[in-house]
Structure 1
Amino acid sequence: MAVTATPTNDQGLALEIAPPVVNFAVEPGETIDSEIAIRDVSTSPLLVTSEINDFTASGDEDGNPKVLTDATDPTPSSIG
């Protein structure tokens, strides 16, 4: 999940996200529910949005995931 924060004025950002890292071992077709907490620790309001990106193994040796952003070509296990 990607989290984007935009200050509503010219002050800086201060977000606390917990837990900072979440790892799951999920079998094909299995559903996992999880929660994260996002807290604005600054003195100014923030507009926070989140996005979940579907991904698969990239097929190379570097270990980086391949993000699947084409909603018109989902995989059988795409996030919907």
Structure 2
Amino acid sequence: MAARGCSSTRFSDEYELKDELGKGAFSVVRRCVKKNSDYLEYAAKIINTKKLSTRDFQKLEREARICRKLQHPNIGKV
């Protein structure tokens, strides 16, 4: 996903995926480390959109809208 005003980059260009932290029906959460940093760690939710029904996709969009509104020092912005 590209940030505003930036060229598009692949997630794997900036982050290294590590161990699995948890998973659900359509997604997996994995620990990741930002490359070119002092080992800053994050959790990345990886969603398999190929398995989503129209209703599931609507729920995903709702979740994304809610997440964009969250403001907390431990929640990063894309």
Higher relative contact order at CA 8 Å, sep ≥6: structure 1 or structure 2?
A: 1
Say which one has the larger Rg.
1
TM-score, normalised to structure 1, is: 0.26
